[in-house]
A and B are shown apart, each in its own frame.
Chain A
Amino acid sequence: MNLLDAVLFIPLAGFFLILLVPREREEAIRRTALAVSLVTFIASLALLARFNRAEAGFQFVANLPWITQPAIRFYTGIDGVSLWLVLLTTLLTPIGVLISWRSIDRRVKEFFALFLLMEFGLVGVFVSLDLFLFYVFWEVSLVPMYFLIGVWGHERRIYAAVKFFLYTMAGSMLMLVALIYLYNRTGTLDYSALLQMRASGRLVFNRVEEVLLFLGFFIAFAIKVPLFPLHTWLPDAHVEAPTAGSVMLASVMLKMGCYGLVRFCLPLFPSASRDLAPSIAILAIIGILYGALVALVQPNMKKLVAYTSVSHLGFVVLGIFTFTELGMNGAVYQMLNHGVSTGALFVLVGYLYERRHSLEISDYGGVATPAPNLSAVFLITALASMGLPLLNNFVGEYLVLQGAAQASFRWAVCAAIGVIFSACYMLWLYQRVFFGEVRPDVAGHMRDLTGREWAAVLPLVVLMVWMGTLTQSFLPPITKSSAAILESTKIGVSFEVRNPRLAKGTEVARAR
C-alpha cells in the first residue's frame, strides 16, 4: 500500500474508529475525528513533498485486481491536477471538524463518523483511475452528504437533502449507462488503457455514439458543478446544510463535477467536447452572469454565497471548454481558489449564524464594531472572492479570461462583466452586515473570534494570500498535467469539428 492509498483509507479507518467510541463520550469523538483528519492531512502533505513536479503523468500509482469479471481494477494515482484537489479535501476536513465542534451538539457520533466517511468518498473520487472505481466513490460520497444535510440541516433540510440526492442520482444513472457502453465497446474501464486505445486509433467512435457518450458523462458532471440550468438543487442544499456540510459541498463536492469534466469528458470524447464547446461555453457564461445577478438580490447570506458559486464555477467550465492552455490552467486553479475562498465565506457565515442565529442580511448591521477581527477576516475573504489582485481568485479568473479571449473575444467580454457584478454583491453584502449603526440586538450577540475559530479560518486566509501572490508554488504541476490533458484532446479527433476556431488543434493533429 502506498502513501496515496494511506491518505485514502485513513478516513475510512477513522469512520470505524468513531463507531467504536461510546456515544456518550462526545468530546472523545470530536477529538478522534480531528486527530484522524489531521493525520490524513499530514499524510497528504507528505504526498505533496514527495510529488515529482517535473512529471506530467500519474504518480503514487496502485493497480490491484478487484473484480475479475468484468475486469475492474483498484487503480489509483494522482497527477498535478488531482494532487491539489486531494490536498484541498484533506485540508478542509479538519476545518470542517473544527467549525462543527460546538455547533453540532446532538447525534455527535453519527455526524463525525459520516464526515470522515465523506472524506473517504471525496478523496476516492479524485484518485480513481478506473472509471468503475470513480463511479463507486462518486456515489459513496453522496450518501454521507445526504445524511449531513437531512439530519443536521436547517428547517427545509429534508426537501433539500432529497432534492440533492435525486438530482445527483438521475445524473449518475446516465453516466452509468455511458460507462457500461464504454466497457462493452472496449473491455476495460482503465483510464490509461482507454486513453492509449484512443491514441492508437483502436477506439474510434462515430459521431452519434461519441456525442451521446459525452452527454452521458457531461450531464452527470454538469449537475454536480452545477452548470446553468441544472443548478437548482444547489441553493437549497447550501442553505439547508449545516455549516461544515456547506463548506464541504461548495469547496470539494462541486469540484467533483469540474474534475470529471477535465479528467474524463475531454480526453475520452475530444471530438464531441470540441463540437459542443460553444454551447457549453454559452451556458457557462449565462451561469456566470445569472448567478451573480441572483446573488445580488438575495436577502439570505448563505443563499447569496451559494449563487456566487454558480457564478464562479461558470468560470471554471468556461476555462475548461476554451481548449487553451491558459484557460485550462485557470480553470483548475480556479477550482482550488473557489474551494478556499468560498469555503472560508461559508465558515464565516457560519460564525455569524452561531452568534446571531439568523442568516438574513437584514438582521445584521454594524458587526465591525463589536467583532473587528471577524470583520477583517471577512473583508479579506470577500475581496478574494471578488477577484482583487494579489488574492487568489484574481489569478484564476485572469487566466480563464485570457484563455477565453484566445478562443473567442466575445466570451471574455461577457464573462468579465461577471467579475464586475461579483464586486457589487460582495461589497454590498459587506456594507450591510458589517458597517452602519451597531444594532442593539446585534451588539448583544456578537463576540470576536475565539481561538478555535481562528484555527479554522486562518489557514484559509493564509492560502488566499499565498495563492494570490506566489502562484509558482502551485501552478507548475497543474500546467504540466493540464497540458497533457489538453494534448490528449487533440489526438484522434474522429469527425469534423464544426467550430472553426476550436478546430485549430485538430488541424495540427492532422498535419502530423
Chain B
Amino acid sequence: MPASFVPTAAEYFRVLPEILLVVVATLIMVLEPLTSKQSKRALGWAALAGLLAALIPAALAELAPGTAFSGMVSIDGFAVFFRVLVIAAAIVVVLMSGSYLRREDAESGEYYSLVLYSVAGQCIMAAAGELIVVFIGLEISSIASYVLAGYLRRAKLGNEAAAKYFLLGSFATAFLLYGIALIYGATGTTSLQGIRNALAHPHSVPSSMLVGAAAALMFVGLAFKVSAAPFQIWAPDVYQGAPAPVSAFLAAGPKAAAFAVLIRVYMTAFSAPGARWTGIVAASALLTMVVGNFAALVQTNVKRMLAYSSIAHAGYVMVAIAAHSETGTAAAMFYLAAYVFMNAGAFAVVAHFSRAGEQFVEIEDFAGLGWRQPGTAAMFSIFLLSLIGVPLTGGFFGKFYIFKAALDANLVWLTVVGLLTSAVAAFYYLRLLVVMYMKEPGDSVRDLPPLAVGTRTALWISAAFTLVLGIFPSLVLHFAVAYSRL
C-alpha cells in the first residue's frame, strides 16, 4: 500500500497545532537577533499569537477525529482535550512571563520559542499513537524545559535546578526507552493498539516477566515526569530554583502531558493485564499524597511549598488512574484541567510578588498582602481555596469526582487516606491565607508594584476557570466523560 505513505490534507490538519507552534517558535528564533532590546516585547506577543493560532485547530480537531501518519498520531477526543489544555496553560504562562522577564532584564526570543517548542512536544505526547512518538514528544518537551529551568544564567539556584532536572530527567527517559525496547521485543510492535492486541490474545501472550518489566520501567519514567512518589525528589529543588513563571509552566503543561501519556499507555497498551499494575499505581498514589502533603507542612518557601503541593496533587490524579475505569480517566482529565489553572494562578501571584531577583518568596513575606493589594490577594485566595478543595472551586469538584471514581473501584482505604491528607493540606495553604490577611504588613509589601497587564490577565483567566470549573463543572466534565474511552 504505497499510497498510505503519502499523508492526506486531513492528516496534516490533524497535526496543524504542532506545525503552527514549531513554525512560530522557529520564526521567533530567526527574528530574535533582528529585534532591539526594547522591542523584545513584540516577540512575546508573537508567541501569544502563535499559541492562540494553534488553539483553534487544536479545538477544531474534535470535528474530524482520526489517525495520521500510519497511526503514529491519533487525534481522538482525549488528545483534543489535552492539546487544548496544554496550549491554554502555555497561554497563561506566556502572559505572566513578560513582566517577570523584563524585571529580571532577561526578556528574549529564546524564552518564548523554548516555551513553544515544549508545548509542541506536549501536544505530540497527548496525541501519540505509538511509543516512539511518545518518546519523541517527551524529549522535545523535556529538553526545552531543562533549558527553561536554568533560563536565568546568573541565578545560582536556577543553574542547580537545571542541572538536577536534566540529569535526573535523562535517567528517567532512559528508563522509559528501556521499557519501550522490552515491550517491542515482547510484542514486536510499538503501536499502542498493536501492543494491546498482542497482550489480549491468550495464545500468543509473551513472557509475563518481560511485559511486567517493560510496564514497570515505563512507569518509572513517566512517574518521574509527573513527580509521583518515590520519583518526586527532583520537583522541590527544580520548582524552587527555576524562575517562577517557568515553575508554573513545569507544574502545568509537562505534567498534564505526561499524565496524558501515562493514562493512554496504561489504559490502552496495558489495559488487559490491568489487575497487575493498578496495585502499584495505588501504592504510588498513596505514597505521593502522604509525602507531598506532609513535606509541604514544614516548608517556609512558597515556591517549595507549591512544589510539594503539586506532588500531592499528582497523587490525587494517580488515585484516579488507579481506579482503572473510564470514570477514573474522566476524573483525572477534569482534575488536571482544574489543577493546571489554579496552580498556574498561584505561581503567577508568586512571580508578581517576588520582585527582582525573587527576593520575597518566603511565606512570611506575604504578610499583609490582603490589605495592600486586595485584588491580587483575593485571587490568590481563590487559588488556595481551590487547592484545599473548598466547594464552588474546580479543585473541590475534581477531588469529589476522583474519589467517586476511586470508591467505584472499591479503593476505600485510598479514598479515606487521600481525603484525610487533603485535610492536612488545608493547614499549609491556610498558612498563606493567615499571613496575607491576619498578619500586619511588613517591609516586603511596602513597595509592591501594581500588577502588570499580562500578569493581571493571567490571573483573571486562571481565577475565572477555577470558579467556572467549580460552579458549572458540567461544561468541562461533559468533554472529559465523552473522551475518556480509549
Give A residues with C-beta under 8 Å from B. 67-70, 107, 110, 132, 135-137, 139-140, 142-143, 146-147, 150-151, 157-158, 161-162, 165-166, 169-170, 172-174, 176-177, 180-181, 183-184
Interchain CB contact under 8 A, A107 and B371? yes
Check A151–B390 contact: CB distance below 8 A. Answer: no
Q: Which of A67, A69, A157, A176 contacts B438 (CB 8 A)?
A: A157
Smallest beta-carbon distance B378→chain A, Å: 9
User: When chains A and B are docked, how far (Å) is the Cα of A472 from the Cα of B416?
Assistant: 46
- Contacts A67-B473, A67-B474; A176 near B403 (Cβ below 8 A): yes
On whether A162 and B403 interact (CB within 8 A), knowing A67-B477, A107-B371, the answer reads no
Chain B 367-425 residues near chain A, CB threshold 8 A = 371, 374, 385, 388, 390-392, 396-397, 400-401, 403-404, 407-408, 415-416, 419-420, 422-423
Contact between A180 and B404, CB atoms less than 8 A apart: yes
Bound CA–CA A181/B403 (angstroms) = 9
Q: By the criterion CB–CB under 8 Å, are B426 and A180 in contact?
A: no
Known: A161-B438, A177-B403, A177-B407. 13 other contacts (CB 8 A): A67-B472, A67-B474, A69-B477, A70-B401, A70-B404, A110-B374, A139-B396, A147-B433, A147-B437, A151-B438, A162-B427, A169-B426, A180-B400
Q: A147-B437, A165-B426, A173-B420 are in contact. Are A139 and B391 (CB under 8 A)?
A: yes
- Least CB distance from B475 to A in Å reads 10
14 contacts between A and B (CB under 8 A): A67-B473, A136-B392, A140-B390, A143-B390, A151-B437, A162-B427, A162-B430, A166-B427, A166-B430, A169-B423, A170-B420, A176-B400, A180-B400, A183-B404
The A-contacting residues of B in range 440-481, CB under 8 angstroms, are 472-474, 477-478, 481
The CA of A137 and the CA of B392, in the complex, are separated in Å by 9
**Smallest distance from the beta carbon of B309 to chain A beta carbons, Å?**
16
Max chain B C-beta neighbours (<10 A), residue from A135, A161, A166, A173? A173
Given A69-B477, A158-B438, A169-B426, decide whether A181 and B407 contact each other with a Cβ distance below 8 A: yes
Bound CA span A80–B65, Å: 55
Query: Judging by beta carbons under 8 Å apart, are A68 and B408 in contact?
Result: no
A184 to B412 Cα, complex, angstroms = 12
Residues from chain A with a CB closer than 8 A to the CB of B385 are: 143
B401, closest chain A residue (CB): A70
A69 to B478, Cβ gap below 8 A? yes
For A150, give its contact among B371, B403, B408, B437 (CB under 8 Å). Answer: B437
Q: Taking the nearest CB of chain B, how far is it from the CB of A319, in angstroms?
A: 30
Contacts of A181 in B (CB 8 A): 407
Contacts of B407 in A (CB 8 A): 177, 180-181, 184
Q: Which residues of B contact A169 (CB under 8 A)?
A: 388, 423, 426
B434 within 8 A of A: yes
Contacts of B400 in A (CB 8 A): 132, 176, 180
Write the nearest CB–CB distance from B439 to chain A, whole angstroms.
8
B81 CB, nearest partner CB in chain A, Å: 16
B437–A177 touching, CB < 8 Å: no
Q: For residue B404, which residues in chain A have a CB less than 8 angstroms away from its CB?
A: 70, 180, 183-184
Residues of B with C-beta under 8 A to A142: 390
Beta-carbon contact of A140 and B391 below 8 Å: yes
Which A residues are in CB contact (< 8 Å) with B423?
166, 169-170, 172-173
Nearest A residue to B471, CB-CB: A66
Give the residues in chain A near B374, CB-CB below 8 Å: 110
Q: Which residues of B contact A174 (CB under 8 A)?
A: 416, 419
- In the bound complex, residues from chain A placing their C-beta under 8 Å from that of B426 are 165-166, 169
Q: Which residue of B lies closest to A65 (CB)?
A: B474
- Chain A residues, Cβ within 8 Å of B437: 147, 150-151
Contact A68 B438 (CB under 8 A): no
Across the interface, which residues of B come within 8 angstroms of A68, CB to CB? 474, 478
- Cβ-defined contact, B438 with A173, below 8 A: no
* Min C-beta distance of B328 to chain A, whole Å: 13
CA distance A150 to B388 in the complex (A): 18
Distance in angstroms between the alpha carbons of A135 and B388 in the assembled complex: 15
* Closest residue of B by beta carbon distance from A139: B391
* Smallest CB gap from A183: residue in B: B404
For the complex of A and B, the 3 pairs showing the least CB-CB separation, nearest first, are A136-B391, A173-B419, A170-B423
CA distance A93 to B247 in the complex (A): 44
State the CA gap A181–B404 with chains docked (Å): 7
Residues of B with C-beta under 8 A to A166: 423, 426-427, 430
CA distance A136 to B385 in the complex (A): 13
Contact for A165 among B371, B391, B430, B438, CB less than 8 A: B430
> Which residue of chain B is the closest to A182 with respect to CB atoms?
B407
Least Cβ distance of A138 to chain B in Å? 8
Q: Chain B residues near A135: list those with CB within 8 A.
A: 391
CA–CA, A59 to B334, complex, Å? 36
Instruction: Given A67-B473, A162-B430, check contact A177 B416 (CB 8 Å).
Output: yes
Instruction: Say whether, besides A151-B438, A158-B438, A177 and B415 are in contact (CB < 8 Å).
Output: yes
- Shortest A434–chain B CB gap in Å is 35
In the complex, which residue of chain B has the Cβ closest to the Cβ of A67? B474
User: Which residue of chain B has the shortest Cβ distance to A149 in the bound complex?
Assistant: B438
**Contact among B391, B392, B408 for A184, CB-based, below 8 A:** B408
Report how far A173 CA is from B422 CA in the complex, Å: 8
Closest A residue to B390 by beta carbon equals A139
How many angstroms from the CA of A70 to the CA of B334 in the assembled complex? 13
CB closest chain-A residue, reference B399: A176
Contact residues in A for B420 (Cβ distance below 8 Å) = 170, 173
* Chain B neighbourhood of A140, CB < 8 A: 390-392
How many Å from the CB of B425 to the closest CB on chain A?
Answer: 9
**Segment 218-247 of B: residues with Cβ below 8 Å from A:** none
Closest CB-CB distance, A164 to chain B, in whole Å?
Answer: 11
With the chains together, A277 CA to B219 CA distance in Å? Answer: 49
Residues of A within 8 A of B408 (CB): 184
Q: Determine if A150 and B478 form an interchain contact, defined as CB atoms under 8 angstroms apart.
A: no
- Report the minimal beta-carbon distance from B388 to chain A, rounded to whole angstroms: 8
Across the interface, name the chain B residue whose C-beta is closest to A153. B438
Nearest CB of B to A111, in Å: 12
CB-based contact A162/B434 at 8 Å? yes
Of the candidates B385, B437, B477, the one having the most CB atoms from chain A within 10 angstroms of its own CB is B437
Which of B371, B391, B392, B426 is the most central at the interface, judged by chain A CB atoms within 10 Å of its CB? B391
Residues of B within 8 A of A69 (CB): 474, 477-478, 481
CB-based nearest B residue for A167 = B423
Among A110, A137, A140, A184, residue most surrounded by chain B Cβ atoms (within 10 Å): A184
| Residues from chain A with Cβ under 8 Å of B438 in the complex | 150-151, 157-158, 161
> Within 8 Å CB of A147, what residues of B?
433, 437
Nearest CB of chain A from residue B469's CB, rounded to whole Å = 11
B401 proximity list for chain A (CB < 8 A): 70
Chain B residues within an 8 Å CB radius of A143: 385, 390
Closest chain-B Cβ to A455's Cβ sits at a distance in Å of 31
Cα–Cα distance between A281 and B433 once the two chains are bound (Å): 38
**Cβ of B391: which chain A residues have Cβ within 8 Å of it?**
135-137, 139-140
- How many angstroms from the CA of A107 to the CA of B371 in the assembled complex? 8
Chain B residues lying within 8 Å of A70, measured Cβ to Cβ, are 401, 404
Nearest chain A CB to B134 CB, angstrom units: 30
Which single residue of chain B is at the shortest CB-CB distance from A137? B391
Contact A150 B434 (CB under 8 A): yes
A-chain residues with CB within 8 Å of residue B396 when the two chains form the complex: 139
- Tell me, in angstroms, the Cα distance from A180 to B419 when the chains sit together: 12
Neighbouring B residues of A158 by C-beta, 8 Å: 434, 438
- Shortest distance between the CB of A214 and any CB in chain B (Å): 15
Pick the residue among B419, B434, B477 that contacts A177 (CB under 8 A).
B419
Chain A nearest CB, measured from B419 CB (Å) = 4
Residues in B with CB closer than 8 Å to A173 are 419-420, 422-423
Min distance, Cβ B305 to any Cβ of chain A, angstroms: 16
Q: Tell me the complex Cα distance, A70–B437, Å.
A: 36
A369 vs chain B, min Cβ distance (A): 39
Interface centre among B385, B434, B478 (most CB of A within 10 A): B434
B408's nearest neighbour on chain A, judged by CB, is A184
- A128 CB to closest chain B CB, in angstroms? 12
* A65, chain B: closest CB distance, angstroms: 9
Contact flags B179-196 to A (C-beta < 8 A → 1, else 0): 000000000000000000
